Structure 1
Amino acid sequence: MSQAGPTQALAAIHQAAARRIEVQDYEGAEGLLREAVAGGAAPMSTWRLLAMALRAQGKAEAGRDVLAMLARQVPGDLSNRFDLAEALLLLGDFERGWQEYRYRYSLEHTQAIERKVQRPRWDGRPIPGQTLLIHDEQGYGDTFQFMRMARWARERSQARVIFEVNPETLSIARRMWGDEDIVARGTLPVSFDQHCELMSLPMAMGLKLADLPGDVSYLSADPARVAHWRARLADVPKPWVALVWAGRPEHVNDRNRSMTLDQLAPLGASGATFLSIQKGPAASQANTPPKGMTMVSLSDEIRDFEDTAAILHLADLLVSVDSSPVHLAGALGRPVWVLLPFVPDWRWLLDRDDSPWYPGMRLFRQPARSQWATVVERVADELTTFVARGAPHAR
C-alpha cells in the first residue's frame, strides 16, 4: 500500500472523529481515535483530538497522560502545554500544573491580554529595596480568586509592591490592599524592577493545595452600597437567595456551564425570595420567572461589582453556575452553592463537594454530561431544608 493510503485513512478517521466531537458523541470519537493511534504513527492532531474526547468524558487521568506524552515528544507545541497545565491543575497537581500554565501567553487568544514587560519576572525570592509590579490579566473571577496572593507576595517579596488591577474591580481591591501603591490597568505606567502576573504568582510562590485557603473574607463590601441595598430590599420577604444561571456567552465552555432560568424552576418550592443578579443577555429571563418562583430582578439596577458585592453581603446565600459572582461571594466569605458541569473548570478539581479556595462553599456537580435536572433536584431539596431551618444570619 502506498504511503498516501494510510495517510488518507488517518485523515478520514480524524475528520469523522471531529464530527462526532462536534455533536458531543465523545465515546464514539474515542473509539475511532483509539483505532487511529493504535499503530503509534498517528499525527499529533489526532492525539490532541483523543485527549479532548477523553477529557469530555471525565477521563481526566487518561487525557492528562496523552497530553504529557505529546509534551515530551513535541515540547515546542505550547498550545498542548497549556492544555496539559489545565489537566494537571484539574487533578490537583499544582507543582507541575503551575509550571505548565506559564505557556498560556503563547496562545492566540491570550496574546491580546499579555502585558509586554521589559523587566524580569519575579521568581518568589525576597527582593528588599526593589519595586515589584503585580498586574492582573484575565477574567474578573480570576482577579477575585487570586487577589489574596498579591498580599502574600507583598509579604514574601519584602519589596514595595504596586498592584495594577482592572478598573472594574479597583475600588474593591483598594479596600483589601490600601490606598497606596494600587493603580488601574491602562493608566500611566509606573517604574518597577520586577513584575509578575497575578496568575503567575502561584508558580512564583510554589502554591500547594495545602496552602489554601489562606486569607478568608479578604474582600469586603462598601458600607454605603450595603446601606443603599438594605433600604432597597427592606420590603422584600426573606430569606434572600441571590441567583445567577448563566455565565459570559463568549466563554469557551459556556454551553456546558450555563443554564436557563426555567431549568431552576424546582427551586421555587423552597419558599425563598430569589434576587436576580444575572447580567448579560440571560438577565431578561428574570422578567418572566417560572411559576411558583418569587423573584426580584435587580439586574438592571446593578451598576458595577460594588453593587453585586453589597447584595451578596446582604443575601443569605448565592446559588450560581460557574461565574465571577461565585468568586466575589467566596472572597467576601459569603455562603455559595455552585452548580458545575460534569467536566468543570480546573479550579474546581474533581470528586469533591467543597472548594479548598473558599471555606463554606458547596459544589453541586453533574453526575453525567448535560444532566442538570439531577443537580437542580439536589439543590432544590437542600434549599428547602436551608429555608426551613432559617437563614444562618441576616445582615
Structure 2
Amino acid sequence: MSTNKPPNIFAAPPPSGVDLYFRRALSAAQAGRYAEAESLCRLVLQQQPQHFEALHLCGLVQHLSGRQAEALRALDRALLVQPRSAKALNNRGVVLHGLGRSAEALQAHDAALVQQPAYVDAMLNRGVALKALGRLDEAIAAYEQALALDPRMADGWSNLGVILQDQRRFEAALEAYARAIVLAPEYADAHWNEARCRLLLGDYALGWDKYEWRWRRASFARQHRDFTQPRWQGEDLAGRTILLHAEQGLGDSLQCLRYLPLLAARGGRVLLEVQAPLVSLLKDFPGVEAVFARGAALAAFDLHCPLLSLPHVFATRLDTIPPNVRPAAPDAQRVAAWGARLGPKRGTLRVGLVWSGNPAQQDNHLRSLALRDLLRITAPEIECISLQKELRSDEERALVADGTIRHFGEDLADFAETAALMTQVDLVISVCTSVAHLAGVMERPVWVLLQYAHDWRWLLEREDSPWYPTARLFRQNRQGDWAGLIDEQLMPALRQHIEGVSHA
C-alpha cells in the first residue's frame, strides 16, 4: 500500500512580500533539494521566527528527509502561529503516522477536516491512519468519501484496493487497482499492489509479470542496482558469468535459492550476492561458485538478475515451482556445540519459537504476537527454545529470566548459527519471518502462524505450502485474533503431535 498522500510542497507561495530566501527555499524543495530548502528556511526564521510558511516548509522537508521527530517539532511551531491551518494539521498527521502514532495521526486529520471539510488529502490520509488502527470499514468509507469528491485520484483507488484486499474482497480490490491504472497507466504502486493480489490468488502468470513494476516504485530506489552489465532475461548462459543479487528481505532471498542450480544447469557460472547474515550459510550452496555479502567487492560478471525476478524469468506457475534445494548441512562442530549446550531434552517435544519479525517492516505489528501469548502452549511435555535474535521488551526479558523460555539471541551471529541450533529442536513454530523461511529451506518441520491479511507467498486456504514441503500453515480467522488461532488450531495440533511422538 502507498503511504500517506505526500505533503503538498508545491502550493502557491505566501502572499506578496515574502522574502527572497523563502522563494528560493520553495524552489529548492520543489526540485527535491531538501537540505538546501531547509537551510534557506532557517535563514528566513532567523529574521522572522514566527514565519508560518517557513516553519511549515521546514517541517515538510524534514519529513521527506526521513527526520520525523524534527518534522513534528517544526510543524508544532507552525501550528502555534496558525493553529487552524488545515494543511499544517494534515501534514502533522502524516508525520505522526510516520512515527507509528496512528491514533494521534487520525486526530490530526480529523482536526484538518474540521477546518476544511472537503479537504481530499486529509480524507485520504485519514483512511491510511484508520487502516493502521485496524478499522478497515471506516478506512474504506474515508477513501470512498474522498473519491466521491475527486474520482480521478489513482493513488486513492490503489490504496482503497489494498484495504479491500485485506478484507479478502479480492474482486473489488482488483477492480480498484484497474481503475487506478486506467487513470494513471504508469502508476507503479497500483501495478505492484495488483501483483501481490494476483500472486496471493495463485495467478502466477500475470502476478509475476506485474511484480516487475516494483523497480519503478519510489520506495524501491535503494534496492536498484546500477550495473553497467545487462540484466538477464532468460537468454543462453553457456560460458557466461551471472550475478544474482538479493533485493528485499532475508526470507525472500532464501525462498529463491531453488533457482540457482537451474542457472548452473544452463551452463552459467553463478555468483551470489546476499545479505551478510546469509553468507556463511550459503558459501557451499549447490551450483554457486562464490558468495558475496552485499556491499563487498564483487568478482567480474557478464549479466545480473535480482533474485525475486527469477520466478518471472522462469515463467513459474503453481505447478512448476522448482523443488526446494537445501543449503549444505550445518557445520558439525556448531551442531555438537549446541547439543552440548542444550543438554538432554526436557520433555517429549523441543520447540523452537519465533514470535516477532523485523520492526522496520510496515505490517510487523500485525504479523507479530506477544511472547506471553505464544507461551500459552507451554506444558510439561514441551521445552521452549527461542530462535529469535533480539528480545524487544521488558516482558520478554522477564520470561527469559524466569526460565520459561531459553534464549540465545546474542550467540546467533548469523543464519549458519541459527541453522545449527535449529537442528536441536523437533519443531519450529514461527510467525512469518526469515526464520520460518530458513526452517523451510532446511526442510525442518515448521508451523507458520499467519495473520489474517498475510503475505502473498502463503496463498489462500491451504494448510501446506508449495514452496516448502515441511511447512504447515495456521491462519487467523479474524484480523488480530492470535488467541483464537492458538486456542482453536495450534494447541489441539500440538496435543495431537505430542501423542503421535509418544506412541511412535
**What is the TM-score normalised by the length of structure 2?**
0.71
Alignment of structure 1 residues 173-212 onto 2, 5 Å: 173-177=282-286, 180-212=289-321
- Does residue 474 of structure 2 align to residue 364 of structure 1? yes
Q: Which residue number in structure 1 is paired with residue 208 of structure 2? A: 98
How far residue 350 of structure 1 moved from its aligned partner, in angstroms, is 1.4
Task: Say which of 232, 238, 241 aligns to 1:128.
Answer: 238
Task: Say which of 453, 459, 462 aligns to 1:349.
Answer: 459
| 2:412 partner letter | I
Task: Say which of 162, 168, 172 aligns to 2:281.
Answer: 172
Q: Which residue number in structure 1 is paired with residue 371 of structure 2? A: 261
Q: Which residue number in structure 1 is paired with residue 331 of structure 2? A: 222
How far residue 293 of structure 1 moved from its aligned partner, in angstroms, is 8.3
- Cα gap change, 1:223/1:64 in structure 2, threshold over 3 Å: closer, same or farther? farther
- Do 1:212 and 1:356's aligned partners in 2 also have CA atoms closer than 8 Å? yes
Q: Which residue number in structure 1 is paired with residue 60 of structure 2? A: none
- Do 2:274 and 2:292's aligned partners in 1 also have CA atoms closer than 8 Å? yes
- Do 2:281 and 2:327's aligned partners in 1 also have CA atoms closer than 8 Å? no
- The 1-side partners of 2:318 and 2:380 are apart by 35
Q: Which residue number in structure 2 is paired with residue 380 of structure 1? A: 491
How far residue 228 of structure 1 moved from its aligned partner, in angstroms, is 0.9
- Do 2:240 and 2:269's aligned partners in 1 also have CA atoms closer than 8 Å? yes
- The 2-side partners of 1:93 and 1:195 are apart by 26
Specify the SS of the correspondent of 1:339: strand
Specify the SS of the correspondent of 2:190: helix
Q: Calculate the aligned-residue CA RMSD, in Å.
A: 2.7
The alignment-based identity, stated in percent, is 32
- Cα gap change, 1:55/1:94 in structure 2, threshold over 3 Å: closer, same or farther? same
- Do 1:269 and 1:292's aligned partners in 2 also have CA atoms closer than 8 Å? no
Deviates more, 1:25-34 or 1:142-151: 25-34
- Do 1:316 and 1:391's aligned partners in 2 also have CA atoms closer than 8 Å? no
- Does residue 501 of structure 2 align to residue 390 of structure 1? yes
Q: Which residue number in structure 2 is paired with residue 278 of structure 1? A: 388
Deviates more, 1:135-144 or 1:29-38: 29-38
Specify the SS of the correspondent of 2:202: coil
- Do 2:269 and 2:289's aligned partners in 1 also have CA atoms closer than 8 Å? no
How far residue 106 of structure 1 moved from its aligned partner, in angstroms, is 2.5
Specify the SS of the correspondent of 1:183: strand
- Do 1:262 and 1:290's aligned partners in 2 also have CA atoms closer than 8 Å? no
Task: Say which of 312, 318, 330 aligns to 2:428.
Answer: 318
- The 1-side partners of 2:208 and 2:202 are apart by 10
Alignment of structure 1 residues 232-251 onto 2, 5 Å: 232-238=341-347, 239-251=349-361
Specify the SS of the correspondent of 1:199: helix
How far residue 316 of structure 1 moved from its aligned partner, in angstroms, is 0.3
- Cα gap change, 1:264/1:181 in structure 2, threshold over 3 Å: closer, same or farther? closer
| 2:318 partner letter | L
- Does residue 141 of structure 2 align to residue 141 of structure 1? no
- The 2-side partners of 1:194 and 1:176 are apart by 20
How far residue 99 of structure 1 moved from its aligned partner, in angstroms, is 1.4
- The 1-side partners of 2:503 and 2:242 are apart by 42
- Cα gap change, 1:375/1:23 in structure 2, threshold over 3 Å: closer, same or farther? same
Deviates more, 1:63-72 or 1:199-208: 63-72
- The 1-side partners of 2:164 and 2:449 are apart by 22
- Do 2:272 and 2:288's aligned partners in 1 also have CA atoms closer than 8 Å? no
Q: Which residue number in structure 1 is paired with residue 36 of structure 2? A: none
Query: Deviations for 1:343-393, whole angstroms, at most 9, x for unmatched residues?
Result: 101111111111110012111111011111111112122112212322799
- Cα gap change, 1:250/1:19 in structure 2, threshold over 3 Å: closer, same or farther? closer
- The 1-side partners of 2:393 and 2:329 are apart by 25
- The 2-side partners of 1:144 and 1:12 are apart by 40
- Cα gap change, 1:297/1:127 in structure 2, threshold over 3 Å: closer, same or farther? closer
Task: Say which of 47, 64, 71 aligns to 2:181.
Answer: 71
How far residue 148 of structure 1 moved from its aligned partner, in angstroms, is 1.4
Deviates more, 1:187-196 or 1:346-355: 187-196
- Cα gap change, 1:165/1:8 in structure 2, threshold over 3 Å: closer, same or farther? same
Q: Which residue number in structure 2 is paired with residue 328 of structure 1? A: 438
- The 1-side partners of 2:234 and 2:395 are apart by 47
- Do 1:141 and 1:323's aligned partners in 2 also have CA atoms closer than 8 Å? yes
- Cα gap change, 1:250/1:36 in structure 2, threshold over 3 Å: closer, same or farther? closer
Q: Which residue number in structure 2 is paired with residue 303 of structure 1? A: 413
- The 2-side partners of 1:337 and 1:190 are apart by 39
Specify the SS of the correspondent of 2:304: strand
Q: Which has the larger radius of gyration?
A: 2
- The 2-side partners of 1:127 and 1:305 are apart by 30
- The 2-side partners of 1:151 and 1:101 are apart by 23
- The 1-side partners of 2:404 and 2:122 are apart by 53
Unmatched 5+ residue regions in structure 2?
Answer: 1-116
- Do 1:265 and 1:293's aligned partners in 2 also have CA atoms closer than 8 Å? no
Aligned residues: 387
Task: Say which of 152, 160, 164 aligns to 2:262.
Answer: 152
How far residue 13 of structure 1 moved from its aligned partner, in angstroms, is 4.7
- Do 2:260 and 2:288's aligned partners in 1 also have CA atoms closer than 8 Å? no
Specify the SS of the correspondent of 2:392: helix
Specify the SS of the correspondent of 1:154: helix
- The 2-side partners of 1:144 and 1:283 are apart by 28
- Cα gap change, 1:346/1:45 in structure 2, threshold over 3 Å: closer, same or farther? same
How far residue 41 of structure 1 moved from its aligned partner, in angstroms, is 3.2
- The 2-side partners of 1:272 and 1:357 are apart by 28
- Cα gap change, 1:270/1:236 in structure 2, threshold over 3 Å: closer, same or farther? closer
